[in-house]
């Protein structure tokens, strides 16, 4: 599903956010990305989500070589294959939960009626069937993030990327959101979650730890190390 | 199915969603939208009203000319070779009447040095700019002048100290009605006001004059009997022919000492002068529209700055650069269309109420509305172009970056 090969990213100011990251994530995995602030987590997520192109290195997402795609191709990839969840929710104010979720499908080419139908279904799935006509300011933080997850999942994308989805939430609401991500993963979606909450990360099957733009530790490797009897 | 982009089903946006996306700014910041559209509304309103009012006035003039006819010609004395004021011969009227196609002839003659007052107490110097004319009793039929009050002069009253006042003259003298006891001083003698005229568009000289019978003027005011304007009507088809011989016929001895004119031409000339002014006002409206366009552009620039997050989100949801560009162009067009529609309605309302106040038929040429629409769309597109391009070029990541 994801294949990063020696990816580097140097910003215009000269900051190297990614200094040679190689990472493979298979379809159906649930991966936590951890690391201190400034270690390049968000940058990596942007590259995975095709929101940004790497300075060098290869990126394959859902079978497509991202470097070979045009802007329209990347947009199409995001419309049909990738769902995003952000720390700040990024819901449209003054717009109902239902319309926010339906607008997640705005660029897929589905007709308005079908978009709403799917939005209703996915809102029920995240437990917000009773909040559909509420506007963001009438919802709690946890509910808002669940609306955002519903929006990302509405199109059934094979890949879902979440950047600190629990960062702005209390523990209970955060746990509910993580539970949702787990449910989506069980239903077949590949999920990559950035978080700096260690406990949360520890519960997920695989953890990738970044430091200074490099993969410092990969859960899959640690498992191997543990098998070999070496404590991390 | 549209062709796949790089083997993936392309992102696509329904036209209805383009409109809905364009209305986001309007929905979330209605006051700002209305204020920025206001400039365009004022510009379009000004242009529609200017064209509408001038068209209404023209329609009124056409209506007037239709009812008054354009077949009236006048002959007046010009100047002699030495520059002195010429006189028409005493037989000028008879001569003109003999021109074959001429259907009717009438005349007035200015009674020299004869002032008109309401009372004897007004000092000599304040003449009020009113003239006194000796008139033929058939003057009304030929000039189309109509009575507002009282009666016109007849064979009997034309011999008596009876006067008919022109519309402006009656107003200046403060005479509102015609009655046996209403009298004015004409050349030092009391004349009874028997009638008051309405404004006479084809013979405006009558408006500022006191009109007395030809014999009365000769007997009581020392009128010399020379006509100063001879009016003639002929069939429309013959007007040009009559015009070409009129001068020589009225004054065969000195045909170059007469002035022949067609009063309906003077009205049309006034209208042409009005059109130059209309063009000037139209230019002012265009400037207002331009300023309105700058207002919309300014709003759009601010809107794009404020909505970076929304733009980033839309890109994350699969919007192409083109979709973002279209959205902001649509918003700009929507804003200016809003202003343009309001402006057109306002301009039409102003035209209708002004025309009503003037008694004109309200006329708004369809091309004004079409032109207004075209101007609106052009301004909207130009105003939105730069902000839309800017929005579409924002990298999705900076747009999503936390403030
Ligand atoms: N748009 C940008 N321009 C310049 N530098 C950036 C930009 N985004 C991030 N950086 C820098 O890149 C580094 C990695 O940032 P980021 O990927 O946001 O880290 P994290 O999400 O792990 O906190 C930081 O030093 C940050 O300052
Ligand atoms: Mg980050």
Q: What is the pLDDT of residues B166-182, one digit of tens each?
A: 999 998 888 888 888 88
Contact assessment for residue A172 and residue A140, using Cβ atoms and an 8 Å cutoff: no
Residues within 5 A (CB) of ion ligand 2: A 42
At B189, list the tokens: 């003698």
Over residues B185-203, the mean pLDDT reads 90
Give dist(CA A146, CA A50) in Å, integer: 23
8 Å CB contact of B317 and A94: no
Q: Does B310 sit within 8 Å of A108, measured CB to CB?
A: no
CA B141 to CA B147: how far, in whole Å?
11
pLDDT tens per residue, range B337-349: 999 999 999 999 9
DSSP letters along B316-385, please?
HTT--HHHHHHHHHHHHHHHHHHHHHHHHHHHHHHHHHHHHHHTPPP---HHHHHHHHHHHHHHHHHHHH
Closest among B185, B186, B162, B52 to B114, alpha carbons compared: B186
How does pLDDT run across B64-107, given as a tens digit for each residue? 888 878 888 888 888 777 777 788 888 888 888 888 888 889 99
pLDDT in tens, A77-127: 999 999 999 999 999 988 999 999 999 999 999 999 999 999 999 999 999
User: Considering only CB atoms, which chain B residues are within 8 Å of A46?
Assistant: 396-397
Q: Please state at what angle helix A71-81 crosses helix B308-316, rounded to 10 degrees.
A: 80
Phi, psi of B133 (to 5 degrees): -120, 140
A198-227: string of b/e by CB count within 10 Å (b at 16+)? eebbeebebbbbbeebebebbbbebeeeee
The number of domains in chain A is: 1
Residue boundaries of the structural domains of chain B: 15-65+268-400, 71-262
Q: How confident is the model at residue B126 (pLDDT cuts 50, 70, 90)?
A: low
pLDDT in tens, B254-275: 888 888 888 888 777 777 777 7
B1 in contact with A, Cβ within 8 Å: no
Average pLDDT over residues A146-170: 95
Backbone angles phi, psi at B105, to 5 degrees: -135, 140
**Interchain contact, B7 vs A64, CB within 8 Å:** yes
Average pLDDT for B368-397: 92
What whole-number distance in Å separates Cα of residue A155 and Cα of residue A104? 8
State yes or no: pLDDT of B327 exceeds 60. yes
Residue A222: pLDDT band with limits 50, 70, 90? low
* ipTM, 2 dp: 0.93
Amino acid A232: pLDDT: 40
**B264 or A177, greater pLDDT:** A177
Is the Cβ–Cβ distance between A95 and A171 less than 8 Å?
Answer: no
Domain holding A136, by residue range, is: 2-231
Q: DSSP class of residue A68?
A: G
Average pLDDT of span A160-165? 95
Q: What CATH number has the domain bearing residue A127?
A: 3.40.50.300
Place of tokens 């190390």: A225
Determine how β-strand B189-197 pairs with β-strand A159-163.
unpaired
DSSP string covering A80-143: HHEEEE-TT--PPTTS-HHHHHHGGGTTBT--HHHHHHHHHHHHHHTT-TT-TT--GGGS-HHH
Ligand 2 centroid–CA A49 distance in Å is 14
Burial B375-386 (b: 16+ CB within 10 A, else e): bbeebbebbbbe
The residue with greater pLDDT, B243 or B84, is: B243
User: Which of residues 12 through 31 in chain B touch A, CB cutoff 8 A?
Assistant: 12-14, 16-17, 21, 24, 27-28
Size of chain B in residues: 403
Average pLDDT over residues B306-329: 94
């Amino acid at each position: 599903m994801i294949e990063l090969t020696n990816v580097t990213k140097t910003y215009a100011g000269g900051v190297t956010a990614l200094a040679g990251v190689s990472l493979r994530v298979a379809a159906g995995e649930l991966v936590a990305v951890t690391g201190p602030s400034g270690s390049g987590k968000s940058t990596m997520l942007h590259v995975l989500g095709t929101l940004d192109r790497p300075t060098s290195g290869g990126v394959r997402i859902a079978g497509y070589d991202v470097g070979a795609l045009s802007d329209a191709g990347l947009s199409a990839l995001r419309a049909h294959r990738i769902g995003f969840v952000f720390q700040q929710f990024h819901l449209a104010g003054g717009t109902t939960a239902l319309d926010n979720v339906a607008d997640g499908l705005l660029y897929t080419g589905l007709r308005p009626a079908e978009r709403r139908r799917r939005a209703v279904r996915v809102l029920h799935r995240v437990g917000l069937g009773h909040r559909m006509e509420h506007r963001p300011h009438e919802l709690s933080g946890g509910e808002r993030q669940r609306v955002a997850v519903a929006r990302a999942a509405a199109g059934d994308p094979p890949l879902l990327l979440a950047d600190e989805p629990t960062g702005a939430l209390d523990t209970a609401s955060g746990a509910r959101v993580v539970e949702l991500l787990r449910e989506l993963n069980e239903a077949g979606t590949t999920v990559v979650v950035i978080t700096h909450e260690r406990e949360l990360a520890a519960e997920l099957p695989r953890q990738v730890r970044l430091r200074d733009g490099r993969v410092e530790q990969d859960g899959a490797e640690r498992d191997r190390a543990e098998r070999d009897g070496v404590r991390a | 199915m549209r062709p796949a982009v790089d083997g993936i089903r392309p992102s696509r946006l329904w036209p209805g969603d383009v409109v809905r996306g364009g209305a986001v700014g309007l929905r979330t910041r209605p006051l700002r939208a209305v204020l920025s559209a206001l400039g365009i509304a004022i510009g379009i309103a000004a242009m529609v009203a200017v064209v509408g009012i001038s068209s209404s006035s023209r329609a009124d003039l056409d209506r007037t000319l239709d009812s008054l006819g354009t077949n009236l010609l006048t002959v007046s004395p010009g100047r002699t070779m030495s520059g002195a004021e010429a006189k028409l011969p005493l037989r000028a009227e008879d001569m003109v009447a003999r021109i074959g196609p001429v259907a009717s002839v009438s005349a007035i003659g200015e009674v020299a040095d004869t002032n008109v007052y309401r009372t004897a107490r007004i000092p000599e110097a304040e003449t009020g700019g009113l003239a006194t004319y000796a008139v033929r009793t058939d003057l009304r039929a030929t000039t189309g002048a109509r009575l507002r009050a009282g009666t016109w002069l007849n064979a009997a009253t034309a011999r008596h100290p009876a006067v008919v006042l022109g519309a402006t003259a009656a107003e200046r003298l403060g005479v509102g009605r015609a009655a046996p006891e209403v009298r004015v001083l004409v050349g030092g003698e009391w004349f009874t006001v028997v009638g008051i005229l309405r404004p006479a568009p084809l013979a405006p000289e009558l408006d500022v004059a006191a009109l007395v019978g030809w014999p009365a003027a000769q007997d009581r005011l020392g009128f010399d009997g020379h006509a100063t304007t001879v009016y003639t009507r002929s069939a429309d088809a013959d007007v040009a022919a009559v015009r070409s011989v009129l001068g020589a016929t009225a004054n065969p001895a000195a045909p170059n000492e007469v002035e022949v004119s067609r009063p309906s031409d003077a009205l049309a000339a006034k209208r042409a002068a009005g059109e130059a002014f209309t063009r000037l006002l139209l230019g002012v409206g265009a400037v207002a529209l331009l300023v309105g366009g700058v207002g919309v552009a300014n709003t759009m620039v601010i809107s794009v700055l404020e909505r970076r997050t929304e733009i980033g989100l839309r890109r994350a949801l699969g919007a192409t650069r083109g979709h973002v560009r279209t959205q902001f162009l649509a918003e700009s067009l929507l804003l200016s269309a809003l202003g343009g529609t309001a402006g057109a309605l306002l301009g039409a309302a102003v035209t209708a109420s002004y025309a009503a106040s003037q008694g004109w038929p309200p006329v708004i040429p369809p091309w004004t509305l079409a032109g207004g629409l075209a101007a609106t769309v052009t301004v909207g597109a130009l105003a939105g172009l730069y902000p839309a391009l800017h929005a579409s070029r924002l990298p999705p990541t900076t747009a999503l970056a936390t403030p």
